[in-house]
Structures are given as C-alpha cells and as structure tokens.
Amino acid sequence: MPLSKGALAGVKVVDLTRVLGGPYCTMILSDHGADVIKVEPPQGDETRDWGPPFDEEHNASYFLGVNRNKRGLALDISKPAGREVLMRLLRDADVLIENFKPGSMEKWGIGYGSLEPLFPKLIHCRVSGFGAEGPLGGLPGYDAIVQAMVGLMSINGPETPLRMGTAVVDMTTGLYSTIGILMALQERTRSGQGQFVDMTLHDCGMALLHPAAANFLMNGKRPKATGNPHSNVTPYDAYPTATCQIFLAIGNDGQFRKLAAAIGKPDLADDPRFASNALRGANREPLTAVLIEAFATEDGHALSDRLAKLGLPAGPVLHVDEALAAPHTAARQMVTELDGYRALGTPIKLSRTPGGTRSIPPKFGEHGPAVLGELGYSEPEIAGLIDEGVLYTKRKR
C-alpha cells in the first residue's frame, strides 16, 4: 500500500475510456493519487470479457490489470439524463479523458468546443486512432493495425511482418497521454486555463520508430527487420549458452574491450575486424561465431551476473513467469498485491509521495449510487435513473 496520498491527490479525472490506451493512462494517474471515476457504457468495458483467465466474478485479467484505484459507475451518455450526470461530474473535474470515435462527443453536444466555455479550466484529452483531420481522420484505430501502418511490424522480428507481443502502441499512447495531461495541468497553474489534448495511436506509434526513421531520414535506405541484432550497434544480440540465452548490448569500444577480457579473449579487441563499432557491424557474422563458441559451456545466469557486475550490459533472456518471480522484481515492488488482487506495480518511484495500489479494480457500476450521491442526487432520483436505463448497476447484455 502507498504511504502517501500521492503526488496527484486532489486531481479529479472523469474517465470515459475503454480497452487499453485510455485506461492505462488513467491507472497511472490513479496510482499517484488522482480520483479517477471510470464511467463505463451500459455494456461495460469490453475488456471485462477478454479472457480467459477470469476471476470469480468473470472479470478478465486484461481488465483487472489496468483498472485499479478507480471508482466505477455505468452511465448511458447517449441519453440526455446521462449527459446531465456527466455535466455534474465535470463541475469540479480537472481532467476529462475519452476515446470515442472523433465526432461522437460533438454529436451529443459535449465536444471540447461545447465544454470549454462551460468549464474553462478543464483539460479534455481525446485518445483516438488517427485524430479528426487528415486522410485517415475519424477512422477507427487498433493497436495491431497501427503497428502495421506506421512501420513497426516491418522492422520487428527475423521475418516480416510481425506484431509485437505486447500492445506497445496502445500502452505508449497511454503513457504519452499521461505526459500530455500532466503538461496541461502544469501550464494551467500559469494561465488558469484548460486545453484540448489530442492523442492518437498513429502519432504515438510513429514516435516509436527510432532509430529506424532517423536512419532512413539520413541515408534514404528502407530499414529492414534484423531480429534481435541492432541495426546500429554490434554486438547487440541474444546468444546461446549451456543453460539459457543471454542478451548483450555492447555500446562502445571500451565495453567491447572489457567483454573480450572477461571471456578470456583479450586479443579480440585488437582484431582489425572488430576494432570499432562500425567494423564490428561490418563483420557481424564472424564476431557472432566467436561469441557463441566462447559462451557454449557457460551457465548463462552466472555469466550474465558476472558481466553485469563488470559494468557490461548483459542479462539472461527470461520467460514472463521467471521475470515476475525474480528477486529484483520483488525488491523494486513491481508485483503488487491487495486483498487477493495481484498485478504489476507502478514503475514511477517518488521519494516523498510514492504511489501504488490503493484499491482493487471496481466491479461494474460499483460506485455509481455513491458518486451520484456526492453530486447531490437523492436516493429516489438515483433509483429513477436506474429505472430509466440511465444509470446501470448490472451490465446490459
């Protein structure tokens, strides 16, 4: 449990997002003290169904992994009474984040242009696939589709195209959205004004193309997939040992000299084929053969540990279960647990205002009546909204 209220205590976030990019952003904010009110549609966030595995209430691990520390209510904002509830929520909110298709909020009369005069200090973050303008404006976007369209698949894997094994575009969009929101909050302390934060999977996916884009913009050559090896640095690859694969990332000549000495082959550093990074890249195959032979009888875990303690970037290639059980994972509190809920911990470590798991992910509509009570709705009014199909406490199927 965190030992502070968090760096973002007092910040109220109304979260209309579903799936991954937006919820990942708001989990980061909530980990650090923001009061995030997750507003789900009547059918619920579809990732509640993205399993197995499921918990005892049939919520998928996919949903549980990115929705802790939030209060949940379910609301049909396509109805005028639902939009009225949303407007009350926004009266004292600092941030509104949504990932509706561009134009949807405007159709309901609650787009940024309509909200800004009413809530001039509100920061409105929209997460979409491609934005509202441009040839692709308004089209739906999904992680794998954007990985394909921005070129990430073309440089991933030994053969192409290959989707990355994690939803890297969605999660990066969540991270960039967090940064954008925090920038807007900081600027508001000077201007007193909110603003619109326009985040797209397309732009955030493009931003991941380093160094492939930088290389192309300099030499005009189409980048190719290289698998584990780095396009610019050698040796930078996974190598077999007697017990496991290890990964090396030798970034300069000094590190290469130290590596050569550590494996009992100091003459490698003076070999004219390997004397500089450019030469090592040009002679990648013979260098790889030398290293594979040198590592063949080594215990990969012990070798990685020995090299790392010499200041060399090296580590064993672990499976997910091994990484989660690693002693350093525990030391860094990167697996969090509360009341039977287990998930990845926050990577943001603040000395005075640490964040972390404060509450488990909300059940569908769990906090709806309580949140509406805080907004001034009476119990009969809340019951009426439930009867009218505006406020939901059970998922609409």
Instruction: Give residue 310's identity as a one-letter amino acid code.
Output: L
Ranges of H-type helices in the chain: 21-31, 61-64, 80-90, 104-107, 112-118, 143-149, 168-191, 201-206, 212-219, 253-262, 277-282, 284-295, 300-309, 320-325, 327-331, 368-374, 379-387
How many angstroms separate the CA atoms of 114 and 82, rounded? Answer: 16
How many angstroms separate the CA atoms of 27 and 336, rounded? Answer: 14
Instruction: Give residue 356's identity as a one-letter amino acid code.
Output: G
Q: Give the other-Cβ count within 10 Å of 279's Cβ.
A: 15
Strand partners, 343: 336
How many angstroms separate the CA atoms of 145 and 128, rounded? Answer: 13
**8 Å CB contact between 67 and 73:** no
Q: Give the other-Cβ count within 10 Å of 5's Cβ.
A: 13
How many angstroms separate the CA atoms of 99 and 200, rounded? Answer: 10
**8 Å CB contact between 127 and 23:** no
Domain annotation for the chain: domains and CATH numbers: 12-208+331-392 (3.40.50.10540), 236-240+245-316 (3.30.1540.10)
Annotated active-site residue in 15, 45, 170, 237: 170
DSSP string, 88-123: HHHTT-SEEEE-PPTTHHHHTT-SHHHHHHH-TT-E
Q: What is the pLDDT of residue 1?
A: 60
Q: What is the DSSP letter of 223?
A: P
- Written as tens digits, the pLDDT of the chain (397 aa) is 667 899 999 999 999 999 999 999 999 999 999 999 999 999 999 999 999 999 999 999 999 999 999 999 999 999 999 999 999 999 999 999 999 999 999 999 999 999 999 999 999 999 999 999 999 999 889 999 999 999 999 999 887 789 999 999 999 999 999 999 999 999 999 999 999 999 999 999 999 999 999 999 999 999 989 888 888 999 999 999 999 999 999 999 999 999 999 999 999 999 999 999 999 999 999 999 999 999 999 999 999 999 999 999 999 999 999 999 999 999 999 999 999 999 999 999 999 999 999 999 999 999 999 999 999 999 999 999 999 999 999 999 8
Secondary structure of residue 263 in the 3-state scheme? coil
Ranges of H-type helices in 153-219: 168-191, 201-206, 212-219
Among the listed residues 191, 65, 173, the one whose alpha carbon sits nearest the alpha carbon of residue 126: 173
Q: Is 170 a catalytic residue?
A: yes
Residue showing tokens 């997910």: 320
Query: Reading across the β-sheet that carries 391-392, which strands appear in turn?
Result: 196-200, 123-128, 95-98, 12-16, 35-40, 70-75, 391-392
